[in-house]
């Protein structure tokens, strides 16, 4: 196995909007001996969130992008991406919908994590809806981003069992633990093809 140093690793960007637990797990993976990636850029549409604090504490290049005007925001992001020679974009709790133009520009280069067993429960409030429907299983999915919401090709998906006692909150906690474990695995899987 080849050990790559920081500069030779594949530059990736992570997009966040909040807590950043998936960002943390990707960062942890990027610092392992044989990882092929380096987080060269973090994009956040929010400034005072835990993910941004984590990024700053770890001195990762972070850009807060004002989403008042989506078109302008995406232009700025494209500029940051090209300046940093980004090869893969990981959406990790980024709660904005990217435009068709943006997605087409980075075809097969954007991946997303979603807290459900896609194609079931696309969109928001997944855990509430899953519990309401009395599902036996939920889980998480990492998939390629296409212009159709939460519908691109699945890279990795795993399920967790739902107990009768589970609430949306306890289910979210269980699923998040799985998400944090799976995101680095999904990156490993796609990066070898870049
Ligand atoms: C995660 O549960 C992720 O699956 C979800 O937001 C959370 C972010 O957590 N993403 C979506 O719902 C996207 N549709 P994190 O900030 O701790 O990584």
Residues 137 and 47: their CA atoms lie apart, in Å, by 35
Enter the pTM of the model: 0.96
Q: Which of 22, 28, 155 to mutate to test the pocket of ligand 1 (most atoms within 8 A of CB)?
A: 22
pLDDT number for residue 194: 77
Q: Give residue 14's domain range.
A: 6-114+144-154+184-191
In a domain, 161, yes or no: no
Residues 26 and 113: their CA atoms lie apart, in Å, by 12
pLDDT at 1 over 60: no
In a domain, 170, yes or no: no
pLDDT number for residue 189: 96
In a domain, 134, yes or no: no
22 lines ligand 1 (CB under 6 A): yes
In a domain, 166, yes or no: no
pLDDT number for residue 5: 65
How does residue 2 score in pLDDT terms, banded at 50, 70 and 90?
low
Residues 56 and 79: their CA atoms lie apart, in Å, by 21
How does residue 192 score in pLDDT terms, banded at 50, 70 and 90?
confident
Kindly give the distance from the C-alpha atom of residue 174 to the centroid of ligand 1, in angstroms, as a whole number.
13
Start-to-end CA distance of the chain, whole Å, equals 17
How does residue 8 score in pLDDT terms, banded at 50, 70 and 90?
confident
State the chain's mean pLDDT as an integer.
96
Taking only the tens place, the pLDDT of each residue in 81-114 is 999 999 999 999 999 999 999 999 999 999 999 9
In a domain, 139, yes or no: no
Taking only the tens place, the pLDDT of each residue in 123-143 is 999 999 999 999 999 999 999
Number of domains in the chain: 1
Which is catalytic among the residues 48, 114, 127, 143?
A: 114
Kindly give the distance from the C-alpha atom of residue 1 to the centroid of ligand 1, in angstroms, as a whole number.
32
111 lines ligand 1 (CB under 6 A): no
List the CATH number of the domain containing 89.
3.40.50.170
In a domain, 92, yes or no: yes
Q: How many CB atoms lie within 10 A of CB 109?
A: 18
Kindly give the distance from the C-alpha atom of residue 7 to the centroid of ligand 1, in angstroms, as a whole number.
29
Is 114 among the residues known to form the active site?
yes
In a domain, 131, yes or no: no
- CA distances 97 to 145, 171, 190, Å, are 10, 25, 22
In a domain, 162, yes or no: no
Kindly give the distance from the C-alpha atom of residue 34 to the centroid of ligand 1, in angstroms, as a whole number.
26
């Amino acid at each position: 196995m080849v050990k790559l140093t920081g500069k030779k690793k594949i530059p990736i960007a992570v997009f966040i909007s909040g807590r950043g637990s998936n960002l943390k797990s990707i960062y942890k993976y990027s610092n392992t001996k044989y990882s092929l990636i380096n987080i060269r850029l973090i994009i956040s549409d929010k400034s005072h969130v835990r993910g941004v604090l984590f990024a700053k504490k770890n001195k990762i290049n972070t850009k807060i992008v004002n989403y008042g005007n989506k078109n302008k925001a995406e232009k700025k992001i494209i500029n940051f991406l090209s300046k940093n020679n980004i090869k893969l974009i990981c959406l990790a709790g980024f709660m904005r919908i990217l435009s068709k133009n943006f997605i087409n520009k980075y075809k097969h280069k954007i991946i997303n994590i979603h807290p459900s067993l896609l194609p079931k429960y696309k969109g928001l409030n997944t855990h509430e809806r899953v519990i309401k429907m009395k599902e036996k299983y939920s889980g998480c999915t990492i998939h390629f981003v296409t212009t159709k919401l939460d519908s691109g090709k699945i890279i990795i998906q795993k399920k967790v069992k739902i107990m009768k006692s589970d609430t949306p909150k306890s289910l979210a906690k269980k699923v998040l633990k799985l998400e944090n474990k799976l995101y680095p695995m999904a990156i490993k899987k796609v990066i070898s093809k870049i």
